[in-house]
A = this chain, B = another copy of it.
Amino acid sequence: MTREELVRTIRTKRSLLCVGLDTEESMLPEPFRSLHHPVRAFNHAIIEATHDLAVAYKLNLAFYEARGTEGWQDLESAVALINKVGGCFTIADAKRGDIGNTARKYAEAFFTNLAFDAITLSPYMGRDSITPFLGQRGKWAIVLGATSNEGAADFQFLNVGNANVPLYEQVIKNVSRWGTPNDLMFVVGGTRPDVLKAARAAAPHHFFLVPGIGAQGGDLNAVLDAAITPDGGLLINSSRGILQAGKGDDAVSKARQAALGLRLEMEAALRRRGVL
Protein backbone atom coordinates (compact mmCIF):
# COMPACT_ATOMS: atom_id res chain seq x y z
CA MET A 1 0.00 0.00 0.00
CA THR A 2 1.46 3.35 -1.03
CA ARG A 3 1.43 6.46 1.13
CA GLU A 4 -1.36 8.01 -0.97
CA GLU A 5 -3.46 4.90 -0.59
CA LEU A 6 -2.80 4.85 3.15
CA VAL A 7 -3.80 8.51 3.57
CA ARG A 8 -6.90 7.93 1.46
CA THR A 9 -7.81 4.94 3.66
CA ILE A 10 -7.39 7.05 6.81
CA ARG A 11 -9.71 9.72 5.39
CA THR A 12 -12.29 7.24 4.10
CA LYS A 13 -12.42 5.23 7.31
CA ARG A 14 -11.98 8.32 9.55
CA SER A 15 -9.57 6.22 11.57
CA LEU A 16 -5.93 5.80 12.56
CA LEU A 17 -6.60 2.45 14.15
CA CYS A 18 -4.14 -0.42 13.89
CA VAL A 19 -5.50 -3.63 15.38
CA GLY A 20 -2.71 -5.71 16.93
CA LEU A 21 -3.40 -9.40 16.38
CA ASP A 22 -1.18 -10.58 19.26
CA THR A 23 -3.40 -13.57 19.63
CA GLU A 24 -2.59 -15.94 22.51
CA GLU A 25 -4.16 -19.35 22.58
CA SER A 26 -4.44 -19.25 26.38
CA MET A 27 -6.31 -15.93 26.27
CA LEU A 28 -8.92 -16.91 23.67
CA PRO A 29 -12.59 -16.42 24.55
CA GLU A 30 -14.26 -19.63 25.65
CA PRO A 31 -16.33 -20.32 22.47
CA PHE A 32 -13.20 -20.46 20.30
CA ARG A 33 -11.19 -22.89 22.43
CA SER A 34 -12.86 -26.06 21.19
CA LEU A 35 -12.49 -25.20 17.50
CA HIS A 36 -10.08 -27.07 15.23
CA HIS A 37 -7.79 -24.05 14.62
CA PRO A 38 -8.79 -21.76 17.50
CA VAL A 39 -6.31 -18.90 16.88
CA ARG A 40 -7.06 -18.89 13.17
CA ALA A 41 -10.81 -18.85 13.76
CA PHE A 42 -10.57 -16.02 16.32
CA ASN A 43 -8.33 -13.91 14.08
CA HIS A 44 -10.74 -14.39 11.19
CA ALA A 45 -13.68 -13.35 13.37
CA ILE A 46 -11.82 -10.25 14.60
CA ILE A 47 -10.80 -9.27 11.07
CA GLU A 48 -14.36 -9.70 9.77
CA ALA A 49 -15.67 -7.63 12.69
CA THR A 50 -13.18 -4.74 12.52
CA HIS A 51 -11.87 -4.31 8.96
CA ASP A 52 -14.17 -1.36 8.23
CA LEU A 53 -12.84 0.42 11.35
CA ALA A 54 -9.16 -0.50 11.12
CA VAL A 55 -6.67 1.16 8.81
CA ALA A 56 -4.05 -1.45 9.62
CA TYR A 57 -3.43 -4.80 11.25
CA LYS A 58 -0.20 -5.62 13.06
CA LEU A 59 0.76 -9.24 13.67
CA ASN A 60 3.42 -9.81 16.28
CA LEU A 61 5.53 -12.70 15.02
CA ALA A 62 6.41 -13.99 18.49
CA PHE A 63 2.84 -15.09 19.13
CA TYR A 64 2.86 -17.18 15.95
CA GLU A 65 6.42 -18.53 16.13
CA ALA A 66 5.72 -19.75 19.66
CA ARG A 67 3.43 -22.33 18.09
CA GLY A 68 5.77 -23.55 15.34
CA THR A 69 4.42 -24.70 12.00
CA GLU A 70 0.80 -24.41 13.16
CA GLY A 71 1.45 -20.84 14.26
CA TRP A 72 3.13 -20.00 10.97
CA GLN A 73 0.08 -21.28 9.10
CA ASP A 74 -2.18 -19.14 11.32
CA LEU A 75 -0.03 -16.14 10.41
CA GLU A 76 -0.27 -16.88 6.68
CA SER A 77 -4.00 -17.39 6.99
CA ALA A 78 -4.60 -14.09 8.80
CA VAL A 79 -2.58 -12.01 6.32
CA ALA A 80 -4.29 -13.76 3.40
CA LEU A 81 -7.72 -12.88 4.82
CA ILE A 82 -6.77 -9.25 5.47
CA ASN A 83 -5.47 -8.93 1.92
CA LYS A 84 -8.60 -10.62 0.54
CA VAL A 85 -10.92 -8.30 2.46
CA GLY A 86 -8.79 -5.46 1.10
CA GLY A 87 -8.20 -1.84 2.05
CA CYS A 88 -6.05 -2.48 5.14
CA PHE A 89 -2.32 -1.94 5.70
CA THR A 90 -0.53 -5.01 7.06
CA ILE A 91 2.43 -4.94 9.44
CA ALA A 92 4.69 -7.84 10.36
CA ASP A 93 5.78 -6.83 13.86
CA ALA A 94 9.01 -8.75 13.66
CA LYS A 95 11.60 -6.25 14.98
CA ARG A 96 14.23 -7.86 12.80
CA GLY A 97 17.67 -6.43 12.09
CA ASP A 98 20.53 -8.27 10.47
CA ILE A 99 23.32 -7.89 7.89
CA GLY A 100 22.53 -7.26 4.22
CA ASN A 101 22.25 -10.80 2.84
CA THR A 102 20.12 -11.84 5.82
CA ALA A 103 17.98 -8.71 5.65
CA ARG A 104 17.22 -9.52 2.02
CA LYS A 105 15.99 -12.95 3.13
CA TYR A 106 13.65 -11.35 5.67
CA ALA A 107 12.36 -8.97 2.97
CA GLU A 108 11.65 -12.04 0.84
CA ALA A 109 9.89 -13.76 3.75
CA PHE A 110 7.65 -10.87 4.74
CA PHE A 111 7.16 -8.74 1.61
CA THR A 112 7.20 -11.34 -1.16
CA ASN A 113 5.99 -14.59 0.40
CA LEU A 114 3.65 -13.37 3.13
CA ALA A 115 2.64 -10.20 1.21
CA PHE A 116 2.87 -7.87 4.21
CA ASP A 117 3.02 -4.14 3.44
CA ALA A 118 5.46 -3.42 6.24
CA ILE A 119 7.90 -4.92 8.72
CA THR A 120 9.20 -3.51 11.99
CA LEU A 121 13.00 -3.35 12.29
CA SER A 122 15.54 -2.67 15.03
CA PRO A 123 18.13 -0.03 14.07
CA TYR A 124 21.03 -1.40 16.14
CA MET A 125 22.91 -2.93 13.20
CA GLY A 126 22.70 0.23 11.09
CA ARG A 127 22.18 1.15 7.50
CA ASP A 128 22.78 -2.16 5.68
CA SER A 129 20.22 -3.84 7.95
CA ILE A 130 17.53 -1.32 6.90
CA THR A 131 18.07 -0.44 3.24
CA PRO A 132 17.15 -3.89 1.83
CA PHE A 133 13.58 -3.12 2.93
CA LEU A 134 13.43 0.30 1.23
CA GLY A 135 12.68 1.47 -2.29
CA GLN A 136 10.02 -1.11 -3.10
CA ARG A 137 6.77 0.58 -4.15
CA GLY A 138 4.08 0.10 -1.54
CA LYS A 139 6.42 -1.67 0.91
CA TRP A 140 7.61 -0.13 4.17
CA ALA A 141 10.30 -0.42 6.83
CA ILE A 142 9.07 0.65 10.28
CA VAL A 143 12.15 1.30 12.40
CA LEU A 144 12.16 1.34 16.20
CA GLY A 145 12.72 4.88 17.44
CA ALA A 146 11.50 5.17 21.03
CA THR A 147 9.60 2.21 22.38
CA SER A 148 6.97 2.28 25.12
CA ASN A 149 8.47 -0.32 27.47
CA GLU A 150 10.39 0.30 30.67
CA GLY A 151 13.67 -0.94 29.18
CA ALA A 152 13.54 1.82 26.54
CA ALA A 153 15.37 3.99 29.09
CA ASP A 154 18.40 1.69 29.16
CA PHE A 155 19.83 2.69 25.78
CA GLN A 156 17.32 4.70 23.72
CA PHE A 157 17.46 7.60 26.15
CA LEU A 158 21.24 7.76 26.57
CA ASN A 159 22.69 10.93 25.12
CA VAL A 160 24.95 10.31 22.13
CA GLY A 161 27.62 12.15 20.18
CA ASN A 162 28.56 15.80 20.33
CA ALA A 163 25.05 17.12 19.82
CA ASN A 164 24.06 15.40 23.09
CA VAL A 165 20.68 14.19 21.88
CA PRO A 166 19.14 10.93 23.06
CA LEU A 167 19.93 7.88 20.95
CA TYR A 168 16.33 7.51 19.76
CA GLU A 169 16.39 11.02 18.26
CA GLN A 170 19.72 10.34 16.57
CA VAL A 171 18.28 7.09 15.20
CA ILE A 172 15.23 8.88 13.79
CA LYS A 173 17.38 11.65 12.28
CA ASN A 174 19.92 9.31 10.68
CA VAL A 175 17.52 6.62 9.50
CA SER A 176 15.15 9.17 7.97
CA ARG A 177 17.96 10.08 5.54
CA TRP A 178 18.16 6.48 4.29
CA GLY A 179 14.54 6.30 3.13
CA THR A 180 11.66 8.63 2.37
CA PRO A 181 8.26 9.28 3.96
CA ASN A 182 6.95 6.90 1.27
CA ASP A 183 8.82 3.79 2.41
CA LEU A 184 9.89 4.45 5.99
CA MET A 185 8.02 4.91 9.28
CA PHE A 186 9.12 4.91 12.91
CA VAL A 187 7.84 3.17 16.01
CA VAL A 188 7.32 5.80 18.71
CA GLY A 189 5.65 4.66 21.92
CA GLY A 190 2.48 6.34 23.09
CA THR A 191 3.28 6.56 26.78
CA ARG A 192 5.41 9.77 26.69
CA PRO A 193 3.99 12.76 24.80
CA ASP A 194 7.28 14.68 25.22
CA VAL A 195 9.07 11.90 23.35
CA LEU A 196 6.42 11.88 20.62
CA LYS A 197 6.90 15.65 20.22
CA ALA A 198 10.68 15.34 19.96
CA ALA A 199 10.32 12.46 17.50
CA ARG A 200 7.87 14.50 15.42
CA ALA A 201 10.34 17.39 15.33
CA ALA A 202 13.06 14.98 14.13
CA ALA A 203 10.84 13.47 11.42
CA PRO A 204 8.04 15.88 10.53
CA HIS A 205 6.80 13.99 7.48
CA HIS A 206 7.11 10.30 8.42
CA PHE A 207 4.31 8.15 9.67
CA PHE A 208 4.68 6.86 13.23
CA LEU A 209 3.38 3.52 14.41
CA VAL A 210 2.34 4.14 18.01
CA PRO A 211 2.00 1.27 20.47
CA GLY A 212 1.38 1.69 24.17
CA ILE A 213 -2.21 2.98 24.14
CA GLY A 214 -4.46 1.17 26.61
CA ALA A 215 -2.84 -1.71 28.50
CA GLN A 216 0.52 0.12 28.58
CA GLY A 217 -1.04 3.36 29.80
CA GLY A 218 -0.75 5.77 26.86
CA ASP A 219 -3.50 8.37 26.41
CA LEU A 220 -4.97 8.60 22.90
CA ASN A 221 -5.62 12.34 22.89
CA ALA A 222 -2.18 13.15 24.25
CA VAL A 223 -0.69 11.08 21.42
CA LEU A 224 -2.75 12.88 18.80
CA ASP A 225 -1.88 16.30 20.26
CA ALA A 226 1.81 15.49 20.20
CA ALA A 227 2.29 13.94 16.79
CA ILE A 228 -0.60 14.26 14.36
CA THR A 229 0.21 15.73 10.91
CA PRO A 230 -1.97 17.27 8.18
CA ASP A 231 -2.46 13.85 6.59
CA GLY A 232 -2.78 11.95 9.85
CA GLY A 233 0.76 10.63 10.06
CA LEU A 234 -0.07 8.08 12.75
CA LEU A 235 -1.10 4.46 13.04
CA ILE A 236 -2.21 3.90 16.61
CA ASN A 237 -2.12 0.33 17.76
CA SER A 238 -4.45 -1.41 20.15
CA SER A 239 -4.01 -5.12 20.83
CA ARG A 240 -5.27 -6.36 24.19
CA GLY A 241 -7.91 -3.60 24.43
CA ILE A 242 -9.65 -5.11 21.41
CA LEU A 243 -8.74 -8.82 21.50
CA GLN A 244 -9.57 -9.17 25.19
CA ALA A 245 -12.60 -6.84 25.29
CA GLY A 246 -14.91 -9.78 25.99
CA LYS A 247 -14.49 -13.30 27.31
CA GLY A 248 -17.61 -15.21 26.26
CA ASP A 249 -20.05 -15.39 23.36
CA ASP A 250 -19.95 -11.61 23.08
CA ALA A 251 -16.15 -11.46 22.64
CA VAL A 252 -16.27 -10.53 18.96
CA SER A 253 -19.02 -7.93 19.30
CA LYS A 254 -17.20 -6.48 22.34
CA ALA A 255 -14.03 -6.32 20.23
CA ARG A 256 -15.92 -4.42 17.55
CA GLN A 257 -17.33 -2.04 20.17
CA ALA A 258 -13.82 -1.38 21.53
CA ALA A 259 -12.49 -0.74 18.02
CA LEU A 260 -15.44 1.53 17.24
CA GLY A 261 -14.88 3.52 20.43
CA LEU A 262 -11.27 4.15 19.45
CA ARG A 263 -12.25 5.01 15.88
CA LEU A 264 -14.79 7.60 17.08
CA GLU A 265 -12.20 9.26 19.34
CA MET A 266 -9.77 9.28 16.41
CA GLU A 267 -12.39 10.75 14.06
CA ALA A 268 -13.14 13.57 16.50
CA ALA A 269 -9.42 14.35 16.80
CA LEU A 270 -8.92 14.20 13.03
CA ARG A 271 -11.83 16.65 12.56
CA ARG A 272 -10.55 19.04 15.26
CA ARG A 273 -7.21 19.17 13.50
CA GLY A 274 -8.64 19.58 10.01
CA VAL A 275 -7.34 16.26 8.68
CA LEU A 276 -10.92 15.36 7.73
Binding site for B on A (CB under 8 A): 22, 24, 60, 62-63, 65-69, 72-73, 76, 95-100, 102-103, 105-106, 108-109, 113-114, 122-130, 144, 147-156, 158-161, 167, 170-171, 174
Contact A128 to B99, CB < 8 A, known contacts A105-B63, A105-B65: no
B-side contacts of A151, CB under 8 Å: 99, 125-130
Query: Can you list 28 A-B contacts with CB-CB less than 8 angstroms, sorted by A residue number?
Result: A62-B98, A63-B102, A63-B105, A67-B109, A67-B113, A68-B72, A68-B114, A69-B72, A69-B73, A69-B76, A72-B72, A95-B97, A95-B122, A100-B149, A122-B124, A124-B156, A125-B149, A125-B151, A126-B149, A126-B152, A126-B153, A126-B154, A127-B150, A128-B151, A155-B174, A158-B161, A160-B160, A167-B167
Point out the residues of chain B lying under 8 angstroms from A72, CB to CB.
68-69, 72
Given A155-B124, A156-B124, A158-B170; A105-B149 close (CB under 8 Å): no
A147 touches B125 (CB 8 A): yes
Structural contact, A124 and B144, CB atoms closer than 8 A = yes
Min Cβ gap A93→B in Å is 8
B160 near A158 with CB under 8 A, answer yes
Contacts of A152 in B (CB 8 A): 125-126
Q: Which residues of B contact A123 (CB under 8 A)?
A: 124, 154-155
Which chain B positions have C-beta within 8 A of A100? 149
A187 to chain B, nearest CB (A): 10
Chain B residues within 8 Å of A102, by CB: 22, 60, 62-63
With A97-B95, A144-B125, A149-B100 as contacts: A68 and B62 at CB distance below 8 Å: no
When distances are taken between beta carbons in the complex, the residues of chain B under 8 Å from A129 are 149, 151
Question: With the chains together, A151 CA to B100 CA distance in Å?
Answer: 9
Contact A109:B65 (CB < 8 A) given known A95-B96, A124-B124? yes
